[in-house]
Chain A
Amino acid sequence: RAQSTLSKAERFVVPIDAKSLPRGYLVASTYAGVKNAISPSPAAALSGVPKPDLALVVSSTPAAIAGVFTTNKFQAAPVVHATNALQAAQPNGPRAIAVLANSGCANAVTGKEGLEDTEELVELVRNELNPASKPSQPGPSDVLMLSTGVIGVRLPVGTIRRALYHLVHGQVLQSNPEAWLDVARAYMTTDTFPKLRTRQFMLGDRQCSMLAIDKGAGMIHPHMTTPGGLHA
C-alpha cells in the first residue's frame, strides 16, 4: 500500500486464466490508424509498434444486451446510435451480435454525418459477419459501437473499413487471454495500462464466466443512466 516504485502496468495488469474467459465470444483488434488519421504525429510514427485502436467483440449467438449512457447533453454519435438500438428492441428484449470499438476519435459533436458514419460501420460489421443477411434490414441494430478520443472530428471511415475487413476475415477473431488483452489495449487513450478482469461463479448448474474491459483516465466523472423507456 505504500507508494510503489513499480509502474501501474506492472502492478495492475493481472494474468488472465484462459479457463475464466466467457464462452461463445471471439475477439480481434488491430491498429487501424485512427489516431494517425485524426492527428498525424511524427513523434508517434517514430515511437515503434503502433498501438491497437480498433477492436471487435463478437458473440457467436445473439446475446442479451444492456447499456447505460452518459447524461451529457452533447451525446456522441455512438451513444445516440446505441441508445436508439436498445430502445427499438423487440419484445423479447435487445440482442446484439457484436460490439465495435475505436479509440482516437470520439465521433462526438459531429452532427448527422457522425451518426451516419456510425451506422455505416455497424452495418458493415453486421454484413461482414453475416453475409447472408440482407443489407440494411429494417429493425434495431444488433451491432453497437463505442468510440473515444478527440471530440469534434469525424471518424476516418475509409481507414476503419479496411481494418474491419481484416478483423472479420483475417482469421484473427479468437478467444484467448492475449486477444482479450489486446482488445483492452485498443480501448485505451491516455490510460497507462489495459484494464481487464474476469471471474467465475455458479448459477444453478451453470459454470458462468464474466469478463470486463474498461478504459478511462481523464474526463472522468460519469453519471450514466438508461434512456427513457429502456428501464427494465
Chain B
Amino acid sequence: TLLGLVATDAPIAPAALQKCLEEAVRVSFNCISVDGDMSTNDTILALANGQAPTVQGSADKLPHGAEISESSHPALLAKFSEQLTSLCLEMAHLVVRDGEGAEKFVQVRVRGAGSYEDAHAIASSISTSSLVKCAMHGADANWGRILCAAGYATLTGKSGWTIDPHKVNVTFVAPEGVQGIAPLPALVNGTPLVVDEAHAAELLRHEDICVDVDMQGGSWSAKEADAEAVFWTCDFSKEYVAINGDYRT
C-alpha cells in the first residue's frame, strides 16, 4: 500500500491545494509500479495551515490571513504547485527504490505518442511486465520484452491513435549523473540492431536504468503526436517472491 502525507505551512486555499495535489500525483505517484498491484488503501493527503512566517523586507507581500488561490495569486500558486510536484516525485521515487526485493531503479520514458494517456498506458505496460522486470534484474538489454509489453498496452482509443510497429525505437540511455556512456539503440524503426553486449553491460550494471521508447508519432506523423510520459519501476528479484511468499493475510 502507498500512503503519503504532505504537510506545509504555506497559505493555500483548499480548492487550490486539491488541484495542485491532483496534478502532482498525476505525474508522480500515479506513474510508479513495484508489482502491478493496486492497493485498497492508497491515499495521499496534503495539509496546508498557512502558518509560514513573514520575511521582512520582501516586496511581494501577502495580506495577513490571505490564502493563495488560482484567482487571487496565480503565479504564487504555480510556484507552490511546482514545489509540491517536485517533492511528490522524490517521494514516489523513494517508494520504487524501496520496492520489495528491488535492486534496480528503472525509468521508462515513452515519447511520440498521441496523448499523455496513451504514452502513460504504454509506459505502465512496460513497467508492469514481469519479463521486462526480470530482464532488468539480470542486466539484460531485452528490447523484445519491452516491445511486446508496449504492444499489448490498453490505449485510450479516444483519438484513434495507435502504435505503428515500423516506427518504434528502443534505446537504453545512461542515467542522470553517469557520464561517458553513449546511448545504446536496440531497435530502430521497428528493426532490431545487433546489441553490443559489452556496451549493454556497461549501461545496465548501474542501479539506475533508463529506457527510452520513441513511438515517432505512431499512426500519426511525429509532429501530430508528440506526447510523452515517464514511469518508474524496479526489477523483479527472488527476494520479492521470498517476502510475499512469507507475508500472511
B7 to chain A, nearest CB (A): 5
B55 to chain A, nearest CB (A): 5
Instruction: Verify if B68 is at the interface (C-beta below 8 Å from A).
Output: yes
Determine which residue in A94, A190, A226 has the highest number of CB atoms from chain B within 10 A of its CB, and name it: A190
A221 touches B33 (CB 8 A): yes
Q: Which of A106, A193, A204, A210 contacts B98 (CB 8 A)?
A: A193
How many chain A residues touch B (Cβ–Cβ < 8 Å)?
A: 90
> Known: A216-B2, A218-B35. Is A226-B43 also a contact (CB below 8 A)?
no
Instruction: Verify if B87 is at the interface (C-beta below 8 Å from A).
Output: yes
Alpha-carbon distance A40/B70, docked complex (angstroms): 50
Instruction: Verify if B116 is at the interface (C-beta below 8 Å from A).
Output: no
Q: Which of B10, B90, B243 contacts A208 (CB 8 A)?
A: B10
What 0/1 readout, one digit per residue, does chain A (67-95) give for beta carbons within 8 Å of chain B? Answer: 11111101110110010000001001111
Alpha-carbon distance A118/B53, docked complex (angstroms): 35
Stretch at the interface among B75-83, B107-115, B159-167: B75-83
B45 touches A66 (CB 8 A): yes
Alpha-carbon distance A149/B84, docked complex (angstroms): 27
Alpha-carbon distance A202/B82, docked complex (angstroms): 12
A202 touches B58 (CB 8 A): yes
B34 touches A205 (CB 8 A): no
Question: Nearest A residue to B31 by beta-carbon distance?
Answer: A222
A217 touches B83 (CB 8 A): no
Instruction: Verify if A18 is at the interface (C-beta below 8 Å from B).
Output: no
B68 touches A70 (CB 8 A): no
Determine which residue in B21, B25, B32, B51 has the highest number of CB atoms from chain A within 10 A of its CB, and name it: B51
Instruction: Verify if B221 is at the interface (C-beta below 8 Å from A).
Output: no
What 0/1 readout, one digit per residue, does chain A (172-184) give for beta carbons within 8 Å of chain B? Answer: 0000000000000
Instruction: Verify if A211 is at the interface (C-beta below 8 Å from B).
Output: yes
Question: Nearest B residue to A180 by beta-carbon distance?
Answer: B7
Stretch at the interface among B11-19, B142-150, B182-190, B192-200: B11-19
B10 touches A148 (CB 8 A): no
> Known: A66-B46, A68-B43, A223-B30. Is A208-B94 also a contact (CB below 8 A)?
no
B39 touches A219 (CB 8 A): yes
How many chain B residues touch A (Cβ–Cβ < 8 Å)?
A: 93
Cβ contacts under 8 Å, B178 to chain A? 1
Alpha-carbon distance A106/B7, docked complex (angstroms): 22
Stretch at the interface among A57-65, A121-129, A154-162: A57-65
Alpha-carbon distance A172/B35, docked complex (angstroms): 37
Alpha-carbon distance A76/B40, docked complex (angstroms): 6
Cβ contacts under 8 Å, B44 to chain A? 67-68, 214, 224
Cβ contacts under 8 Å, B244 to chain A? 218
B100 touches A217 (CB 8 A): yes
Cβ contacts under 8 Å, B35 to chain A? 218-221
A213 touches B5 (CB 8 A): yes
Instruction: Verify if A15 is at the interface (C-beta below 8 Å from B).
Output: no
Cβ contacts under 8 Å, B95 to chain A? 195, 214-217, 220
Cβ contacts under 8 Å, A2 to chain B? 205-207
A189 touches B79 (CB 8 A): no
B5 touches A197 (CB 8 A): no
15 A–B contact pairs at CB < 8 A? Answer: A12-B97, A24-B51, A64-B67, A67-B45, A68-B44, A79-B40, A95-B14, A204-B76, A213-B5, A214-B3, A218-B34, A218-B243, A218-B247, A220-B39, A224-B42
Beyond A211-B7, A219-B38, A223-B30, list 7 extra A-B contacts (CB 8 Å).
Answer: A61-B50, A66-B46, A68-B21, A79-B43, A195-B94, A214-B92, A217-B100
Which residues of B does A touch, CB under 8 Å? 1-22, 25, 29-30, 32-56, 58-62, 67-68, 70, 73, 76, 79-80, 83-84, 86-88, 90-92, 94-100, 103, 124, 128, 175, 177-178, 205-208, 240, 243-244, 247-249
